[in-house]
Structure 1
Amino acid sequence: MTLLAGRTALITGAGGGLGRGIALRFAEEGAAVALHCRTAVEAARAVAADIVAAGGRAVVLQADLRAEEECRRLVREAAEWAGASGGADDAGGGGGRLTSLVNNAGVQPVRPLPGMTAADWREVVDTNLTSVFACTQAAAEIMRAHDGGTITHIASVEAATPAEGHAHYAASKAAVVLHARAAAREYGPHGIRVNSVSPGLIERDGLAEAWPEGVRRWREAVAVGRLGRPEDVGDACVFLASPLASWITGHDLVVDGGVSARPSW
């Protein structure tokens, strides 16, 4: 399967489980992948090694996306790597141009609203929302000069149904969805499609032990009988970045196994 052959994607937060799943699916579909991380350098390098071992191209780029200048540097370095002539190793280059950005980097702390500080709020909003704004703006400046591209934000079902202790997180993700719609309007004339993907609960190591009651409730509520997997979100992102979605922009694709279809009464 080569839906993304000849393309280069930048995946932020690629050192985490969800970012890894997205990055691997892009690589499996033929894209060269720039893997961003802030602190999970070894994890991101492991993802890059898996991609290279499978015959793909990957590079690891480190940046703190809470700072606007770091967002712009990251996108610039990804575009420079994409434009380099490439071999089949992580230093070889993408062999093309930056065609896709997936804004996946984010944090999800639990903090009850009555005790939340402005610093708590800014930590989440700067990481989850301001980085999306800055990376999108930087990537769009490059894409609009080279026949367009695709940008996908990772939002959450909490954009519509917040959980307790997640006021800052839910608000940031709701804003991410609306940012995608606004960006789709303004960047559409330049050949840039912008969408968001809203995952439900995604399986990860230790989740069932850390949150057994929550996992139990999700399993009871989900229509397809299981939690999500990183590759489920990766599939959605690949679709939105591919020619199959050429007339889709400004859309929020919910990937939650049908939890949101459950009656609330």
Structure 2
Amino acid sequence: MRLLEGQVALVTGAGGGIGRGIALRFAEQGAAVAVHCRTAVAAAREVASGIEEVGARAVVLEADLRDEEECRRLVRAAAEWGGGLTALVNNAGVQPTRPLPGMTAAQWRTVVDTNLTSVFACTQAAAEIMRPGASVTHIASIEASRPAPEHAHYSASKAAILMHARSAALEYGPHGIRVNTVSPGLIDRDGLARDWPEGVERWTRRAPLGRLGRPEDVADACVFLASPLASWITGHDLVVDGGMTAGAVW
């Protein structure tokens, strides 16, 4: 039996990269998947086609998650399409680089609203309609505890996501809703080795498992947390980084 048979999931930011991997893996494990995008409509439709190819249902839903009402509208649309909502994966996010000296409040807010406020609004909206046994998973990052230069706004937003999940686990637990996070390390994408060769080389040299992550690695962790196998797990951060953060930093 597939792990997510009969579930209805909403994956935000599912047009590419990690989100695409999560949406496809959920479908392979039996879930109907609402594929969210903001602007990457063509890519989201490709993901939906891939989901349908494995015999699962899919729908593409557009929304700007920087807007609270758009978050609520998205969740309602997913639930109406699926006849309910059993899993939410808050994956949508941005990762611009900007030195902290000179960063404007507007630049800060763009990252925080996209990465963090959307998580708050989507989770709140989903929890209002979810039944006991449902799950919410936030995609955080190992940068929540190990920041990188020029990522102050990103790292701060991801650290806040960890605490939001713990708080939500505490408050939504009595309603039978579990909330967890997955914190990926460096995940490969097309062109990454070309665009950042020194970073890729440094990562693969230091990582205990000797490779970059793949979207499927993160997706498998999300499937586990949404499945009955994790029915007594909430408020937990599952690190998926090939062992990188297990190493010494001095």
Same fold, TM exceeding 0.5? yes
Counterpart code for 1:12: T
Is 1:132 paired with 2:155?
no
Aligned partners of 1:124 and 1:35: how far apart in 2? 21
Segments of 5+ residues of structure 1 without an aligned counterpart are 84-96
Residue of structure 1 in register with 2:157 after alignment: 172
After superposition, what is the alpha-carbon deviation per residue over 1:19-56, rounded to whole angstroms, capped at 9, x for unaligned?
00000110000000000000000000000001112211
Which aligned runs of 4 or more in structure 1 are off by greater than 6 angstroms? none
Q: CA separation in 2, counterparts of 1:16 and 1:160?
A: 25
**Contact map agreement 2:133 2:231 (CA 8 A) in 1:** no
Distance 1:200 1:253 in 2: 11
Question: TM-score, normalised on structure 2?
Answer: 0.99
User: What CA RMSD, in Å, does the superposition of the two structures yield over aligned residues?
Assistant: 0.7
Q: In structure 1, what is the Cα distance between the partners aligned to 2:107 and 2:12? A: 22
Provide the rounded CA distance (Å) in 2 between the counterparts of 1:129 and 1:115: 22
**Aligned residue pairs: how many?**
250
CA deviations over 1:214-235 (Å, ceiling 9, x no partner): 1111111111111000000000
The amino acid that maps onto 1:190 is H
1:148: how far off? Answer: 4.1
Query: Partners of 1:6 and 1:126 in 2: how far apart?
Result: 32
Q: Counterparts of 2:41 and 2:206 in 1: how far apart (Å)?
A: 36
Answer yes or no: is 1:161 the counterpart of 2:146: yes
**Paired AA for residue 187 in structure 2:** I
State how 1:1-265 maps to structure 2 within 5 Å.
2-83=2-83, 97-143=84-130, 146-265=131-250
Match of 1:93 in 2: none
The AA in structure 2 aligned to 1:244 is L
Opposite residue 98 of structure 2, the aligned amino acid is: R
Instruction: Name structure 2 gaps, 5 residues minimum.
Output: none
